[in-house]
Amino acid sequence: MVPKRRNKLLIIVGLVSGVAIIVSLVLYALSQNINLFFSPSDMAQGKAPIEQRIRAGGMVREGSLTRAGDSLKVSFLITDFVEDVSVTYEGILPDLFREGQGIVAQGKLNNQGVFVADEVLAKHDEN
């Protein structure tokens, strides 16, 4: 092969390889930071992945909030008015959190179908 052509070919192969590596790294980084959103119906029907970080949203079921007396551990049900899912959380709840209010929680769904949240965000009405 002519040296000039070989040099051009090596440059092109190098550039294509570099772009492929960069695209692969960007896609990998994005896949690690994507938290998919699931409703209580999705989780109850088995559509949500087990032991993978996801977001869950719904309304806090009236009368479902229970607090442990000696810790910050709370449990409650979230609903989309079709299915309910049990949520456990250990930490300080947001000021706007209350029964009958919408929430979004981040965490993992365990094998027992309980959503173990590590972050709870309260949604509020515009009114």
pLDDT, position 29: 81
pLDDT, position 126: 57
Q: Is residue 127 part of a domain?
A: no
* 98 and 77 belong to one structural domain: yes
Q: Cα 109 to the chain's mean position, in Å?
A: 10
pLDDT, position 69: 83
What is the enclosing helix (H) or strand (E) of 38?
strand 37-38
* 83 and 52 belong to one structural domain: yes
* 62 and 92 belong to one structural domain: yes
* 48 and 109 belong to one structural domain: yes
Q: Cα 32 to the chain's mean position, in Å?
A: 11
* 60 and 106 belong to one structural domain: yes
Q: What is the DSSP code (8-state) at residue 50? A: B
Which two three-digit tokens encode residue 79?
């609903």
Domain with residue 105: its CATH number is 2.40.50.140
pLDDT, tens digit, 9 for 90 and up, residues 20-41: 999 999 888 877 667 789 999 9
Which two three-digit tokens encode residue 25?
């790294």
Domain carrying residue 110: 37-122
The model carries a pTM of 0.73
Domains in the chain, number: 2
Q: Give the chain's end-to-end CA distance (angstroms, integer).
A: 75
All residue ranges of the chain with pLDDT < 50 are none
Regarding beta strands 73-79 and 115-122, do their DSSP bridges make them parallel or antiparallel, or are they unpaired? unpaired
* 59 and 1 belong to one structural domain: no
